[in-house]
Amino acid sequence: MVLEETIADQGYLFNTGQSFESFGFLGCHVQADNKTAFNVWAPNARIVSVVGDFNDWRDSELTKVGTTGIWHGDFDGVNSGDLYKFAITGPDGKRNLKIDPYATQFEKKPGDAALVPAISKHKWHDGLWLGRRKRSNPDCRPLNIYEVHLGSWKRHVDDTYYTYSEMADELIPYVKKMGYSHIELMPIMEHLLDASWGYQQLGYFAATSRFGTLDDFLDFVDKCHLANIGVIVDWVPGHFIRNYDALYKYDGTPTFEYQDENRANNSRWGAWNFDLGKSQVHSFLISSAMYWLGKCHIDGLRVDAVSNMLYLDYDEGKEGQTNKLGDNRNLEGIEFLQLLNTVIHKKYPNALMIAEESSAYAGVTDPVEKNGLGFDYKWNLGWMHDTLEFFEMDPLYRSDHFNLLTFAFVYMNNEKFILPFSHDEVVHGKKSLMHKMPGDRYNQFANLRTMMTYLMTFPGKKLTFMGSEWGQFLEWRDWSQLEWVDLDDPMNQKMQQFTKKLNQIYHDQRSMWEQDYVIEGLNYTNTDDAKNSTMGFIRQGKSKRQFTIAAFNFVPVERKNYRIGVPFTGEYELLLNTEDESLGGTWTRLQTHFLADKTPYKGQPASFTVTLPAMGALLIKPIKSRG
């Protein structure tokens, strides 16, 4: 039986915002004496009961523990798998059924009752993976993320979901074969509305029951690690589902959300904002992050909608709101994010904390001790939007808008960036990456190959959304599986082979990831040729003899005798020609070797010439260099 003194001690830490593993005592827990304990925080409730299968949905009252605001009860006859909810009578005397905020599994939608947890039978086998992760610096490692929505990657013929186990059998080998380093799962925390994609969360400690049990999910993560694939999960600490039987007015009063309904209401996303200045909310949310990173062995969290937590006026209808200093920053939100990253990195120093932040807020990836937010990485949404706008443009006009590409060079070292071509850019009428590309079908593929090569060579870690790797034409639909039938078409097959080869090159060439976040990692050799819409630069590794040359032609006009400046004379070899016929292009004969002489060019002491393919790119590396 859980002692009241222990709950009081835990409650003190929870109420002061210092209980970062509060899932250990709040929620539902099977005790050693075969009793089952229920603990829930509802500080302003008049009466709290648990109702469920084990008591025929009749009230079994809990007892309030001192002044902690936590209610506790131990009961016999509770079985794993029983459904339950809390019945909470608020200060106004109204009784409402509420979810367990700490439930680790819910019944399948449309219901939202929690399940009494079973003793986990999962045994971890990923010690080697965790050991390697602990010893490595992700900044100096390849990070090539495959973003996945589990509900629509693949489905059965009858349109039912694949289970976590079936995903392990099919998704993991596919990701391994394609050469990605990590899978990023769009939110798999429990949610009711499919169309929310998981971003309106119900359960902050529960993997969705759509695809199986908690143990099934843990097995999936374990198998990813055994295949040397990391797992990142999208996480939403800024706002929660609007449903009244969830967290909203949990004890009959604003409990998890702001007291001020205007601040609590998130009209843009149809959700409620967490009160990020509340110490109990700190304990709740940081415990959620710790649960996924610790109990579930997740390798990183991509924190959604950080801008909404940074600004008071980010949402519609909140223009003009200011803080006590007179500006629009949400000081509470900033302090919460700093605390979150401090706590996470103290316990899990090699966990990846990734910010999806859409403004120019400075210091997102700076250390907290230097007044930064403390994230490891930030999505570079500016680079993404500018790059897509450039490639969607008719090549005839690209020379006049070359700054869309070159502007990113100005700020690329301001933060530690991830370059994302994410789900947000291939939905709601924005078209798929393939469909965005101008011209006929051949030219669309040529543009796509060139753009993906540009992504993989520009400084920063990488993320692409599922289906982009073979050039799916239809934009993403969350209600059906990807258009795998596309791969019956030789052009899509070759695009998939191209992506596989490009990923392999990225993995093998240390220069393409070893110095992503230092100025020495990129040498500008020809980045000012707007007139001809060509670009060249060198990705530099830590060894001066280790580098990759990237040359791009962004218009459908072949450039003969295109000169490339290099640091040394000697022999060079081709890594990739995007117009290779085997990869979907038209070149049947490739120049695979190049000899650099002492002709200086564009600030480099040596150079050689190539034929730069129309609407194409070349990647070249040194074999033997002199000088």
Residues labelled as active-site residues: 304, 356
Q: Is 200 left (phi over 0), alpha (psi -120 to 50) or beta?
A: beta
Encoded tokens for 292: 């996924």
Please write down the long-range contacts of 47-50, taking CB distance under 8 Å and 24 or more positions apart. Answer: 47/87, 47/88, 47/89, 47/95, 48/86, 48/87, 48/88, 48/89, 49/86, 49/87, 50/75, 50/84, 50/85, 50/86, 50/87
Phi/psi at 595 (5° precision): -120, 115
Which sign does the torsion angle of CA 245, 247, 249, 252 carry? positive
Beta strands in 221-351 (DSSP E): 230-235, 239-241, 265-266, 271-273, 300-303
Q: Would you state the torsion angle of the CA atoms of residues 217, 219, 222, 226, taken in this order, to the nearest 10 degrees? A: -130
CA angle 386, 305, 389 (to 5 degrees): 10
* Among 75, 82, 90, 69, residue whose Cα is nearest residue 118: 82
Are residues 179 and 503 in contact, defined by beta-carbon separation less than 8 angstroms?
yes
Longest dimension (CA), the chain: 87
> What does 80-108 look like in DSSP terms, one character per residue?
TT-EEEEEEE-TTS-EEEE--TT-S-BPS
Token pair in block for residue 532: 């001809």
**Count of beta carbons in the 10 Å neighbourhood of residue 270:** 13
Query: Running DSSP on this structure, what letter comes out for residue 567?
Result: S
- Short-list 102, 111, 96, 281, CA closest to 203: 102
With CA atoms as reference, report the closest residue to 426 among 453, 464, 382. Answer: 464
State the Cα–Cα distance between residues 362 and 340, nearest whole angstrom: 18
